[in-house]
Amino acid sequence: MIMNEVLEPTVKVHAEVFNDAYLPYLDDKTPLQIYYGGSSSGKSVFVVGQRTIWDLMNGGRNYLICRQVGRTIRNSVYNEILKVISSWGVGSLFNVNKSDMVITCSNGYQILFVGLDDVDKLKSITPARGVITDVIVEEATEAELASIKQLEKRLRGGSDAIQKRINLLFNPILQSHWIYKEYFNSINWTDKQTEYKSDELLILKTTYKDNRFLTTQDIFRLENEKDKYYHDVYTLGNWGILGSVIFKNWAVDDLSDVYDQFTNRKFGLDFGFASDPAALHCSHYDKMRKIIYAFDEFYETGLTNPELAALIKPIVGNEIVICDSAEPKSIKELRDNKINAVAAKKGKDSVTYGIQWLQQQTIILDKRCINARNELQTYKWKEGGDGKPVSPPRPIDKNNHWIDATRYAYEEEGKDKPKARSSQG
């Protein structure tokens, strides 16, 4: 056991601040490192938070931390690092530039952040001293294989004297994902394994059981997950296999060149706060061809209504935003803050009708609508013991914030309910 050892860079860090499962990899220099598994397993705290700060204090390494969508960085990976600086009491060693999100250690080495959607910044970003030695892609299932290849190429440039690393972090949402095909297929990985190691590739699979810092409440929530898919993926960290997905009528495209042509705009909002995000749906509707073009989205937890209003105002302007009618007070607060918010009408069976209507459309998501994509990928019917949808079908009330917002946005379009139902047979 190493629990009582003291690891010693410029300051002393006790081994017990780490989860045991990760400690062996603190100085591992395998070029490609995959940390994946169930939710709350400690992946982000270790790889994004602790190891970066550890490496920076030891000197010689600069980090580039990426997520697919740049604007999600501040509230996730960036904050993760600030928390470690604070809990280790090493604030005096670091200069934190809040506006540019650059963290610099007193020895000159840096942590930089970039969204993979920010191609220009990605090309130009360089540390003040030396070269980028480490790349972390947080929630890597959101990224494209091409982006990872680009990052690998970028790392390989420059000096070979330092061992460079790329780290991918994610939950194993779908076995059909490119990450599985690219890295797990060829080594015949099975869900029973927890580690793989070669000169080129390290894979570490962890679950909540590897994280001794969780509360009993966290553990209870994970262990009592009733849905098989969510239990497999988020509790056990196994590669996901979806049964009865609800929406298959969608695709991802780059809509950036056609934004200007989107005139028939629809906005819907689902409220959230602590664990659920507030989710904004933004799309253009091509009614003739029954195509919904989702050109943007907003998806954040922990916002007050005035904060939410300020953040969505640039997206929605003065247009009508149809909101979840369950929160009249929130709607009023948005209106007080210059958002043209109105309540959805909902009504009996509106969820089922809304889903049926949406199933008859084609949904094209812009590539930056990551959360919409995550939801559409995993929104599914409740299944009975036989693995078939229960009758009458009911959606699982999970991963449906953007989807609910979408139903509200299109409530008027889909109000011809009986017809929609009979055409489904």
Ligand X SMILES: Nc1ncnc2c1ncn2[C@@H]1O[C@H](COP(=O)(O)OP(=O)(O)OP(=O)(O)O)[C@@H](O)[C@H]1O
Minimal distance, residue 44 CB to Mg ion, in Å:
3
Task: Mark the segment that binds ligand X (CB under 6 A) among 11-19, 173-181, 298-306, 329-337.
Answer: 11-19
Rounded-to-integer distance, Cα 174 and Cα 190, Å:
14
Which of 13, 23, 25, 39 is close enough to bind ligand X by CB under 6 A? 39
Which of 19, 238, 330, 361 is close enough to bind ligand X by CB under 6 A? 19
Q: Which is nearer to Mg ion, 46 or 109 (CB)?
A: 46
Cα–Cα distances in angstroms (integers) from residue 187 to residues 58, 81, 174, 201, 399, in the given order = 34, 33, 17, 10, 31
Q: Which is nearer to Mg ion, 169 or 396 (CB)?
A: 169
Three-point CA angle 359, 362, 364, nearest 5°: 130
Q: What separation, in Å, do the N-terminal and C-terminal C-alpha atoms of the chain show? A: 64
Q: Which is nearer to ligand X, 147 or 171 (CB)?
A: 171
Q: Does 305 bind ligand X (CB under 6 A)?
A: no
Which of 27, 145, 197, 213 is close enough to bind ligand X by CB under 6 A? 213
Q: Does 43 bind ligand X (CB under 6 A)?
A: yes
Residue burial 41-69, b: 16+ Cβ < 10 Å; e: rest: bbbbbbbbbbbbbbbbbbeebbbbbbbbb
Rounded-to-integer distance, Cα 175 and Cα 233, Å:
10
- Residue 42 binds which entry of Mg ion, ligand X, none, with Cβ cut-offs from 5 to 8 Å by kind? ligand X
Tokens of 365: 């998501």
Q: Which is nearer to Mg ion, 64 or 405 (CB)?
A: 64
Contact 23, 15 (CB under 8 A): yes
Q: Which is nearer to Mg ion, 30 or 211 (CB)?
A: 211
> Any idea what DSSP says for residue 156?
H
Minimal distance, residue 191 CB to ligand X, in Å:
16
φ, ψ of residue 106 to 5 degrees: the values are -60, -20
- Residue 19 binds which entry of ligand X, Mg ion, none, with Cβ cut-offs from 5 to 8 Å by kind? ligand X
Q: Which is nearer to ligand X, 62 or 171 (CB)?
A: 171
List residues near Mg ion by CB under 5 A: 44
Q: Which is nearer to ligand X, 88 or 295 (CB)?
A: 88
Q: Which is nearer to ligand X, 215 or 422 (CB)?
A: 215
Minimal distance, residue 370 CB to ligand X, in Å:
14
Q: Does 41 bind ligand X (CB under 6 A)?
A: yes
Q: Which is nearer to Mg ion, 140 or 331 (CB)?
A: 140
Rounded-to-integer distance, Cα 132 and Cα 49, Å:
17
Q: How many residues bind ligand X (CB under 6 A)?
A: 14
Q: Does 72 bind ligand X (CB under 6 A)?
A: no
Minimal distance, residue 251 CB to ligand X, in Å:
27
C-beta atoms surrounding 281 within 10 Å: 29
Tokens of 211: 């994280």
Which of 30, 33, 44, 238 is close enough to bind ligand X by CB under 6 A? 44
The phi-psi region of residue 288 (left if phi > 0; otherwise alpha if psi is between -120 and 50; otherwise beta) is: alpha
Using alpha carbons, select from 168, 176, 113 the residue that is nearest to residue 143. Answer: 168
Tokens of 278: 């507030």
Using alpha carbons, select from 105, 4, 113, 117 the residue that is nearest to residue 59. Answer: 105
Which of 214, 242, 311, 351 is close enough to bind ligand X by CB under 6 A? 214
Q: Mask: binding to ligand X, 264-303, rule CB under 6 A, as x and -?
A: ----------------------------------------
Q: Does 88 bind ligand X (CB under 6 A)?
A: no
Using alpha carbons, select from 252, 299, 257 the residue that is nearest to residue 406. Answer: 299
Residues in contact with ligand X by the rule CB under 6 A = 17-19, 39-45, 171, 211, 213-214
